[in-house]
Structure formats: structure tokens, C-alpha cells
Chains A and B, each alone.
Chain A
Amino acid sequence: MKSLLKIIRRYVFSAYFIIFLILMIDFAAYAALVIHSSGTSSNKRYRISEISSQLTDTGQGLSLSPEGERMMDADYIWGMLLNEEGTIVWSRNLPESIARKGAFSVPETASFSHWYLEDYPVYVWRHDNGLLVLGRPVGSFWKLTLEQPVSILRMLPGYLLFVVLSNLFLISLLAALAGRNLFRAIRPIMNGIRSLEKKEALSIPENGILSDLAASLNKTSALLAEQARQLNRRDEARTQWISGVSHDIRTPLALIMGHAQELENNTALSDQAREEARIIKEQSLRIRQLIEDLNLTSKLEYQSCPLRIASFRPAALLRQITADYLNQGLPESYEIQLNFSQAFMGLRLEGDEQLLARAFRNLIGNSIRHNPDGCHITIAASVCAGKKNCCLLFADDGAGIPRRVIQVLEQQREPEEEHGKGQKNQPHVMGLKIVKQIVEAHGGKMEILPPGQKGCRIAITLPF
């Protein structure tokens, strides 16, 4: 609707402008013509009176001065002076047919004084001795007399106002109609472009003045849909491939792990051999974790991991995770401190509790794994009621996150082509990446904050 009004307004103003411009040009041309012709005309009037004044009675009859003759020859081809009775008392270059007449009656004089005399356009001027008549060449001038009743002249201002107003109304109406027609033609195209933004399939009727555009949009939509299908197929294939590979690795890894465990428990072996078996088992467990992480991260990346949304208490979850770490025999060099606001304690979140638990465990696990000499871990949580989200801060006073890891995590926001370069030397950031993906899958945000004096600080915001 807003667009329609805009189009109509633009149309009406454009119409006014065009008409105003044309009128101005016409008026200027007309004015130029009038000035030119009136200049000529006033010259004539001046000249006929001038010529008249040059025609004087010298006592030996009427005579035109040389100056008068020059003036006359410039514009007229003949001239005569009629006395009070209509008789020709002076003449110059008078055509034979007129001269022959010798005199003109009052009706004849009245008739030609405004029009023509034998097709010669003629002009008259009152002279002391009668009426001076000057003639121009046949066919050189057209004469018109304007006559209107005075009553119409009086009505003229009102009439002109009415005409101007009704013209303006008509112009506005026609412009608005044209604008509406254009809007109607554009509307399906506009709706189509909006649908394209939302990645919806398009089917715009291909008719009207914009049929070419509609056809192009339909084609573009089909092309985009095909590209999206291909991308989905590719993502799906990639996820399935990773899932397949991880599945295929599981059985041989089960054998490695199982036998390593048996060797570790075999008291007949030397301590060193059992220790080596223990390392094989530990590393196998690490590979298992990596396979699971790889699987999860690929599923989260290609949105093929549906969230199991349910209501849960994040405070209870974090307490349980911390208790699990302590119950599993966390060395005393590590300390986990929970600082929850009162509002957070009672907060219920809608989300996938298992996935979020995985994310929180990854963060605590990172602090423990990367600080083998121990550290103090703080988990602070509060509720921002105004923003309808809760803020969690995982901090430790350990070694901190290497700058390179932060850079790699930041780069992964860029398109694949960008961060595909130089991946060989990239550090492994899968644990943090999974945390980020899980948080973002819940509509939240993960941010690595600049460390205080030392250690790492990771802020998580989750909406509720």
C-alpha cells in the first residue's frame, strides 16, 4: 500500500511537471512570436502614421517627402489618399485596376478599411486631408478580427479557473490510474522478490507489461531451488559419509580397546607392558570421543541433528555436571566454584538438555585438560530478564586459550572457501566448535572474552 501511494504520488507530480514544462515552452515560443510580430506590427503602425505625416500639402498639391517614400517602400507597394468624398486625391504606385475607379463610396471604404482591396491587404490612417490607404502585396498578410460579447468576457476569469481546475483533476486522475496499473503489474514481481528472500518457490503469472521480468524471476527461483537441493544433497552425503566412516572405525577400535584392556589387566605382563596397554586404551577412548565429536559437529553443521526440546533447570544441570566431575575423582588441584543468581536457580529453560550438558562438559573438560597442574574454575550464571535470556560465564585461571584457536573459531564464520585455505596447520578446535554450534542451535551466542589477568573466559547467552 505504501508503494502504491508512492507510485501514484510520483506519477501525479511527474504529470504536473511535464505539463508545466510544455506550457512554459509553448508560452515562451508564443511570446517570442508575439514579440517578434508585435515588433513588426507596431513598426507598421508607427510607419503608417509616420508616412502619413510625411504626406504634406506643398501648395501645389499633396507630396510625399523622400523620407516618406523610403518608409513606404520598405513595407507597402502602393498608397493613395481619399478625400472626404472618397475621391483619390493623391496616389503612388497605385495598381491600374484601382486607379481606374477614381473614387470609393462610403460602403466600399468601410468594407476594405478592415479587410482587403482587390486582394491587397490594406491599412488606413486618418490624414488631415482625408484617409491615407496603404496596400501590401497580395497574399502577404492575413487579417482577422476578434469580436466577443462583453458578457462572455466577464465570465472569462471564472471559466478559465474552472477549466484549469478540471484539467488538473483530470490529469491527477489519469496519472493515478496509470500509477495504479503500473503498481498492479509490479505487485506480483515485488511479492516474488520477497518470496525469493524467504527461499520460497515462485510461480508468477507471466503476462502483462512485465511478463519478461516475471519469467526471469520464475527461472531464477527454479535455479535457486535446484542449487539448494544440490547443496542439501551434498551436505547430507557428507554427513552420511562421516557417519559411515565413524561406524566403520568403531568395530576395529572396539578390538583395539578390548585387547588393550585385557593386556592392561594381565598380571603376567610386566608393569611397563601393562602401562603401554593402558596408554593404548586411553588413546582409543580419545579416538572414540573424537569420532563422536566429528559426528555431532557434522550433524549440527548441516542441521541434521533434531533438538529434543524439553523444559529443564540449567542450575540443576550445572550442579549435576560439577558433582559428576568431583565424583569421578577430580584431583584436588582443581576447584570448581558455582556462582548462581537467585533468579537463575529457579529458571527453567526450553532446550535439549543432553546437548547443552555436552557443551557445558566440554567447557569444564577443556579447563581441566589444558591445565594439567590444576586450576580454579568458576561458573557464574545470571538472568537478564529484560532481554529474556540467561548469561553463563565459564572462567578459569589457567593457561588460557591460544590466540590461534580463537582465530580459527572466528574464521569458521567465514564462507568455506575462505577458511578452507591453510587448514593443514590449524589447531583442533572441535570441542569449542561443538559448544558454539550447540549454543547457536538453541538461538544463543558463545563468545570468547578477552582474559582478565590470566586464564580463559567464555560467555554463553541462552534465550528463554
Chain B
Amino acid sequence: MNSIYNCRLLMVDDYLEIRRMVTGILRQRGFSCLETAASCREAGEKVRSFRPDLMILDVMLPDGDGFSFMKELREWSNVPVLFLSAKDEDTDRLTGLGLGADDYITKPFLAEELILRLTAILKRTYFPLGQGAPARTTLTLGRRTINFDSGMVEWEGRSQALTAKELGILKKLAENKGNIVTFDSLCQAVWGDDYFGYENTLMVHIRRLRAKIEEDPSRPAWLLTARGLGYRLTKEENAR
């Protein structure tokens, strides 16, 4: 298996139309090894014969419920499970996740959401960091490149070190590039849960960070302020 699209997926739902629709969506997105089951018994047989890499499991099935089935399954198989159910109570969600499911999606769902969650599980399980594509450890902002491994800002053969706090702030912003990250999220990322009172300190760190990554820190082009909310790292195409 060299790609998530080669993963074997088992779709368990008693509703034929749903099985057809979901397999159709998956096939259209490039997944080719698909199998379906309409009951717990059939699902158990398919897990043994088809040996899926991921199972999409409904909760209400004609010969039992998905939770009990998963409980039994976990005694002899570790196949990742994504619940796809019309049961939307918090308790159902918690039961499913508590049994060790990798995710829980309620019907009706957006196809994109299903695909994103499913690929996230597959990547996490079969292509963790280091095994698949190399993790992105650099960030390019115009002429400057930030290397998160070394904690250095490099430009035109020169380099300048970032402090641990500046690096933490920049990482958080880079993870949400293009989006506003609130003061609270930034402070929490750097100082942990008990962050209240660090807002002013955060401003000092942002000012220093701008001095290192911006061409003109007084008119920042990359690290922008969202007034009253937090900061945002501009996507490259939006930057001046």
C-alpha cells in the first residue's frame, strides 16, 4: 500500500441507497477497494475475508447495534472505525468514541467532511509523519524562510534566531495560515491553559517577531492584526 487510495474500505449500513451513495462518493474521490455489508453478521464475515484498512459503520443494524459489534470486533481486530450514524445524541457520540472509534459523523453529512475525516484517519494510521511525505518544516514569507527545525529566519544568506515563544506563536499561526488565531489560542499554545494576563506579553513577542520576519515591521505584510480578536498570517497570494 503506497497511497491512501489503495486502502481497502468496508462500508456497513443496512440502507442500500446509503451504501450505494457512499461508495459512489468514495469511488469518485479515487478509492477503488470498496466492499459493503448490510448487517453485523455480514460485516464480521467481511472483516475476516476482505481484511479492510478502515470500516465505515452504522449504529442501527438489523441484527444488532454497531456499538456491540465494535466491542466484539475489538477483541480480535484493530481495524480503524468511523461511525456514520443518524443517532446524533452526545451520549451516542461519546459511546462510539469511548469504544475506540476513530471518528463519529452524523447523518446527514457533507461528502467533503466524510472524505476529509476518512483520509485523516488513513493518513494518521498508515502514513504517519516521516513515513509518507515529509512534514512541512519550513515556512516561506516573501524573501524570508522560517525553518521550524532550527528555529531560524533565513534570507539572502543571512539568518536570525527566533526565541522559543516566537517560534511557538509562529507555528500556531502557520498551522492556521490565512485564518485569524485569537489572542487566547495563541497564549494557550505558548503558555498553556492558565494563560490569562499574558496578552500584553504576547503583543511584545509579536512586535519582536515582526521585526524578524517583516521587511517593514511598522507596516506588516505577513503577520496582520485582527483588531480585538488576534493575529493572522496572510496567505502568500494575498501578501503585498
Contact = CB atoms under 8 A, between A and B. Distances in A.
A253 B228 contact: no
B110 A319 contact: no
B109 interface: yes
A284 interface: yes
A251 B110 contact: no
22 contacts: A247-B87, A247-B88, A250-B86, A250-B88, A250-B108, A251-B86, A251-B107, A254-B86, A254-B107, A254-B108, A258-B108, A261-B110, A261-B112, A265-B28, A265-B111, A315-B184, A319-B184, A323-B179, A326-B226, A326-B229, A337-B228, A340-B228
Chain B interface mostly helix, strand, loop or mixed?
Answer: mixed
Contact of B230 (A292, A323, A337): A323
A338 B229 contact: yes
Interface residue range, chain B? 35 or more
Interface in B109-123: 109-112
A319 B108 CA distance: 29
B239 interface: no
A313 B111 contact: no
B31 to A, nearest CB: 15
A295 B88 CA distance: 10
Interface string B145-182: 00000000000000000000000000000001011111
Contacts of A247: 86-88
B107 A326 contact: no
A262 interface: yes
Contacts of A254: 18, 21, 86, 107-109
Nearest to B184: A316
Interface in B182-210: 182-185, 196-197, 199
A319 B184 CA distance: 8
A460 interface: no
A44 interface: no
A262 B111 contact: yes
Contact of A257 (B89, B108, B185): B108
A257 B77 CA distance: 33
A246 B228 CA distance: 39
Given A248-B86, A322-B229, A337-B228, 5 more contacts: A246-B88, A261-B112, A320-B185, A338-B229, A346-B196
A256 interface: yes
B21 A255 contact: yes
Chain A interface mostly helix, strand, loop or mixed?
Answer: helix
Given A250-B86, A319-B230, A326-B226, A258 B179 contact: no
B24 A262 contact: yes
A259 interface: yes
B138 interface: no
A253 B107 contact: yes
Interface in A241-271: 243, 246-248, 250-251, 253-259, 261-262, 265
A417 B112 CA distance: 45
A315 to B, nearest CB: 8
Q: In the complex, which of the residues A255, A313, A338, A340 has the most CB atoms of chain B within 10 Å of its own CB atom?
A: A255
A323 B181 CA distance: 7
Contact of B182 (A255, A284, A316, A337): A316
Nearest to A306: B90
Interface in A305-340: 313, 315-316, 319-320, 322-323, 326-327, 337-338, 340
B21 A259 contact: yes
What are the nearest 3 A-B pairs in CB distance? A250-B86, A316-B184, A254-B107
Nearest to A246: B88
Contacts of A278: none
A274 B31 CA distance: 24
